[in-house]
Amino acid sequence: MTALLRPLASLRLTLAGMVLLAIGAALSYGNPVTTPVWVLVVPMALLAVNLLAAIITNPRINRRGGLLTFHLALLGVVLLAAVGRLTHLEAHVEMVQDTAFSATEIFDVSRGPLHLGGLDELSFVQGPYTVDYAPGMVRGLTHSEVRIPDGRGGWERQVVGDDRPLILDGYRFYTSFNKGFAPILTWLPDKGAPQTGTVHMPAYPLFEFKQDNTWAPPGGPEIKFWLRLDTGLNEKTAWVLDGQKARGVLVLNTGDERIELQPGETAALPGGRLRYERLSTWMGYKLFYDPTLQWMFVTSLIGVLGMSVHFWRKFAAQMPGVVAATPVKPRKYSQGPKGEAI
């Protein structure tokens, strides 16, 4: 059995697995949708087989408790990493204030082939947010308020940020730099029922100079929007981006006509009327799911503990004053003529 496993424990196989893993990591950089997860899983599976064979066949590993613990933990990390890539999910979503999360709104999705889903069961509502900025437009902490069901028919308030995710059933929602404003509009057609929706403006303050977008209402002409904002932005001093305190005039361009609307005002257009209800905000989230994270942490701690024990025993044997216990052989004596020991 050992003879059959020794070729699998070869260092050449280890080197080949590491090279394949490096290539897979380079291809997967940035999580492109076109790169299959197998470019990482196959090299990790190869390295796991190689490491297991080395543990079984190498007495320098399997006869030393600390070193054996470390290599078993390392094997666990490799296997968990492979499982994590097979079951992971990464995506982005943009949510307008006072709207509920919908799994159909996610985009830039990277999904492992064994991901079982569960996004449809998540429930939370986006609230207002604030973002701290230091002088020079250096983004600081984001405080995004969300409301999640408390299980008693009510809602529980929670504040999340770039480093404080909202965690629901293992799914993690992190705020991102991608955020902005969204005018709430109602289209009142000459014939038919009114329709209310939002128009997402580009990210703010990244595109502060370009807050425009277009929209074509049902049965009406395409409308070009420009949002003239007053947020208190000041690049030279610290300031706080607060959508609830911001004000915005919505400018409409339809052909040769230019109309400015304050919140609550209505403009007559071909095919109907457009009412600017109010100014709202939207927040962009990075969505991440990996069920192996906690197990990976525990396994890594076990590996560190095993290596610590191994080196402690190794260094303790070489420390001054530490004498190894060795059996003492009895001393033989010779007798002289009168029986004295000489």
Residue 17 has pLDDT above 80, yes or no: yes
Q: What is the pLDDT of residues 136-161, one digit of tens each?
A: 889 999 999 999 998 898 999 999 99
Confidence band of 332 (pLDDT split at 50, 70, 90): low
Q: Look-up: residue for tokens 């003529």?
A: 337
Amino acid letter at 238?
A: A
Question: Exposed, middle or buried, 7 (CB in 10 Å: 0-12/13-18/19+)?
Answer: exposed
Q: For residue 203, what are its two tokens?
A: 């990210």
Q: For residue 60, what are its two tokens?
A: 């320098």
Look at the pTM and tell me if it is higher than 0.85.
no
Residue 329 confidence (pLDDT): 57
Question: Exposed, middle or buried, 47 (CB in 10 Å: 0-12/13-18/19+)?
Answer: buried
Higher pLDDT, residue 3 or 120: 120
Sheet containing strand 247-254, edge to edge, reads 212-215, 223-230, 247-254, 257-261
Confidence band of 325 (pLDDT split at 50, 70, 90): very low
Q: For residue 329, what are its two tokens?
A: 């052989």
Please tell me whether residue 272 adopts helix, strand or coil conformation: strand
Q: Look-up: residue for tokens 């059933």?
A: 169
Q: Which residues lie below 8 Å from residue 160, measured CB to CB, with a gap of 6+?
A: 144, 146, 166, 173, 174, 175
Distances (CA, A) of 209 to 138, 155, 214, 226: 17, 37, 16, 10
Q: What is the mean pLDDT of the chain?
A: 89
Q: For residue 291, what are its two tokens?
A: 């069920």
Per domain, the residue ranges of the chain are 2-88+291-316, 90-178, 182-278
Nearest to 216 by CA among 271, 164, 258, 294: 271
Q: What is the pLDDT of residues 49-61, one digit of tens each?
A: 999 999 999 888 8
Confidence band of 190 (pLDDT split at 50, 70, 90): confident
Q: What percent of the chain has pLDDT over 70?
A: 93
Question: Which H helix or E strand runs over 304?
Answer: helix 293-316
Question: Which H helix or E strand runs over 259?
Answer: strand 257-261
Whether 106 contacts 115, CB under 8 Å: no
